[in-house]
Amino acid sequence: MTAPEHPEKARVVIVGGYGHVGRRLAAVLQSSRTVVIAGRRTEAAERAATELRVLAAPAAVDAVTGDGLAAVARPGDVVLNSAGDHRDAHLFRRSIELGCHYADLTADPLAIAAMLDLDAEATAAGTSALVGIGLAPGATNVLARAALDLLPEADHIDVGLLLSLADGFGPQAVEWTLGAVATPLAMEFRGHPTDVVAFRSRRRLGFGPLGTYPVYEFGFPEQVFLPTSLAVPSVRGWFTLKPTLATRALALTARTRALRSLLSRPRLRRALVRLSSRLPASRRGGAVGATAVARHGDRTASVSLSARSEARTTARCAAALIDLWDLRRPGCHLPETAIPPRPFFEALAAHGVQITPAP
């Protein structure tokens, strides 16, 4: 099905819009768009929609299979998945069939690769997709592009993420982090192999006004896709938590075979996710930092982001990416190829997210 002409502010159907990040994203987007909250739990969708004063989907939508989407979405809508990582891309396929645009907050590189493989189908249908949006990946991709703009001859980019235990993380974020510690990232995308064992290497990175921290190698999606999208030979991802003692505990787990083996068990990870949800969190949220450093020999150029609250910052980053996304450009896109850095950074600054250096 070919999508019709799309209004500048397309309606957004958020699958999982009652979740930790989805609810915040709906709150940000509803000020300028018609928002519909959908998902398998219709009662949760209705409660969230009532609280946020947006629409609730009239039927359940399964983010894994795409079932029910036809009763909710109409041609020209943006279907936005905030319900988790799904490597079969069924929801995206169903969106294409219905003539809908598609956006996805997944941080799973295999899920992102599966969606990028549907570029030809989206192009043929006249629909557009923007995948891997949020804080990391998402904002970090645009930071990398901005750093490369400052140093075009760069042959390496470091991408770093700083989070805080004072924050309240959603269950998907905790599950994904624990899974990345337990299982190395090993995949190939368009001729570029990626093999990352979490916490194998360590260095220091600056996060703008938040300061400089020891960071550890981590299997982020950016190092899978940026070598192709930005034509940079080498990209590495780095991660740290405040307090640094928490990062050291994760590093010890990653380096101890017995502990890593335990963490690879889904049942144990689910128990740890439940435990994390009971930990106290700061009302303001913890410090959040992201940085990208382009390197060529001894020369460097860096661009950093700093804010508070991982979930709130993720929602604001995703909303800004969606607002700047050109729906008239068909195909499946990553943020660094579709979103110009300057207006993106200006949109974030308007919401209190600090960019260093300022655009």
Q: What does the pLDDT read at residue 258?
A: 81
List C-alpha distances in Å: 216 to 160, 229, 299. 9, 24, 22
Residue 70 DSSP SS3: helix
Across 241-255, average pLDDT? 83
Q: What does the pLDDT read at residue 86?
A: 86
Alpha-carbon Rg for the chain in angstroms: 19
276 pLDDT band (50/70/90 cuts)? Answer: low
Q: Given a cut of 80, is residue 58 above it in pLDDT?
A: yes
Neighbours of 259 (CB within 10 A): 15
User: Across all residues in the chain, what is the average pLDDT?
Assistant: 91
5 pLDDT band (50/70/90 cuts)? Answer: very low
pLDDT in tens, 105-135: 999 999 999 999 999 999 999 999 999 999 9
Q: Given a cut of 50, is residue 2 above it in pLDDT?
A: no
Q: Given a cut of 80, is residue 146 above it in pLDDT?
A: yes
Burial 56-77 (b: 16+ CB within 10 A, else e): bbeebbbbeebbbbeebbebbb
What would the CATH number be for the domain defined by 136-311? 3.30.360.10
Q: What does the pLDDT read at residue 4?
A: 35
Dig out the tokens for 25 from the structure. Answer: 């994203």
144 pLDDT band (50/70/90 cuts)? Answer: very high
Instruction: Please give the share of the chain, as a percent, with pLDDT higher than 70.
Output: 94
Written as one string, the DSSP assignment of 222-261 is HHHHHHHHS--SEEEEEEEEESHHHHHHHHHHHH-HHHHH
Across 324-347, average pLDDT? 97
Least confident interval from 138-142, 205-209, 245-249: 245-249
What would the CATH number be for the domain defined by 12-133+313-356? 3.40.50.720
Q: Residue 4 pairs with which residues in a beta bridge?
A: none
Across 314-333, average pLDDT? 97
H/E element, 92: helix 90-97
Distance CA 210, CA 230 (A): 27
Across 203-217, average pLDDT? 95
Q: What does the pLDDT read at residue 281?
A: 59
> Which residue type does 295 have?
R
Q: What does the pLDDT read at residue 182?
A: 80
Q: Delimit the domains of the chain by residue range.
A: 12-133+313-356, 136-311
Name the pTM for this structure: 0.91
Q: What does the pLDDT read at residue 170?
A: 64
Distance CA 350, CA 208 (A): 18
